[in-house]
């Protein structure tokens, strides 16, 4: 049980993501939930919106995709992006692009934004918010970049790195929610669940 979430909201939650990191964070909260990833490919969505709004729009699309299969449950959709100089760094398509991402991030500060959408389809309820965290990287040598890319850790991660693993060695400082960088801003999620119970 989670003392920060109303008891009646601690069951019947659906996580619209197959991300192992999000699943582990949800488990750590003591909530009862099932995993039903969105079937849509967010990479195939042609969206015209500012970069900072993209994760919120994608989180909502994921939640809506899954909510049709679970109309009476609370569906949680999430999407995380890395932004630097107004450019969105999505999941790298290959190791070369991953290295390019790390070169851009080296020695600089970038934004990590996660959009969250909590939806109960039958009630016509959807709450959406986003979390922003600033992450500063160490100055990286070509050898360090090549070694990290070769580890494979960042291949399926926005920006080409994972802060909770070997990628922690890339990071000099974090200003804001650490869990947001992992992919699920816990405090914001709890806030949205509370609002669903009001």
Question: Which two structure tokens, joined as six digits, stand for 115?
Answer: 């959009």
130 lies in which domain range? 7-196
Considering the domain boundaries, does residue 18 fall inside one? yes
The whole-angstrom separation of Cα 73 and Cα 121 is 8
Considering the domain boundaries, does residue 68 fall inside one? yes
Pairing assessment for the beta strands 109-120 and 87-89 based on DSSP bridges: unpaired
Considering the domain boundaries, does residue 108 fall inside one? yes
pLDDT at 75: 97
44 pLDDT above the threshold of 60: no
Considering the domain boundaries, does residue 2 fall inside one? no
The whole-angstrom separation of Cα 71 and Cα 52 is 29
Q: Which are the catalytic amino acids?
A: 79
Considering the domain boundaries, does residue 47 fall inside one? yes
Considering the domain boundaries, does residue 158 fall inside one? yes
In Å, how far are 67, 114, 155 from 45, measured between CA atoms? 18, 17, 20
- The structural domain count of the chain equals 1
The whole-angstrom separation of Cα 155 and Cα 162 is 9
The CATH number of whichever domain residue 139 belongs to comes to: 3.90.950.10
43 pLDDT above the threshold of 70: no
**pLDDT band with cut points at 50, 70 and 90 for residue 115:** very high
The whole-angstrom separation of Cα 164 and Cα 183 is 10
Mean of pLDDT values over 109-137: 96
DSSP count for the chain of H helices, then E strands = 6, 7
pLDDT in tens, 131-159: 999 999 999 999 999 999 999 999 989 99
pTM of the full structure: 0.91
48 pLDDT above the threshold of 60: yes
Considering the domain boundaries, does residue 77 fall inside one? yes
pLDDT in tens, 50-86: 889 999 999 999 999 999 999 999 999 999 999 999 9
Considering the domain boundaries, does residue 1 fall inside one? no
pLDDT at 42: 52
């Amino acid at each position: 049980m989670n003392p920060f979430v109303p008891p009646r909201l601690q069951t019947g939650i659906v996580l619209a993501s197959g991300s192992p990191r999000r699943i582990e964070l949800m488990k750590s909260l003591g909530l009862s939930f099932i995993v039903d990833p969105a079937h849509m490919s967010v990479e195939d969505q042609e969206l015209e919106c500012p970069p900072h709004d993209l994760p919120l729009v994608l989180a909502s699309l994921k939640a809506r995709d899954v909510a049709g299969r679970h109309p009476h449950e609370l569906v949680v959709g999430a999407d995380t992006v890395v932004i630097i100089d107004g450019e969105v760094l999505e999941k790298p398509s290959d190791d070369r692009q991953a290295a390019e991402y790390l070169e851009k991030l080296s020695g600089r500060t970038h934004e990590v934004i996660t959009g969250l959408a909590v939806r109960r389809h039958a009630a016509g309820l959807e709450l959406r918010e986003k979390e922003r965290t600033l992450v500063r990287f160490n100055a990286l040598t070509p050898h360090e970049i090549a070694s990290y890319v070769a580890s494979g850790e960042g291949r399926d991660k926005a920006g080409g790195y994972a802060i909770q693993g070997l990628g922690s060695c890339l990071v000099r400082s974090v200003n804001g929610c650490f869990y947001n960088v992992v992919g699920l801003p816990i405090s914001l999620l709890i806030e949205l669940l509370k609002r669903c119970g009001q």
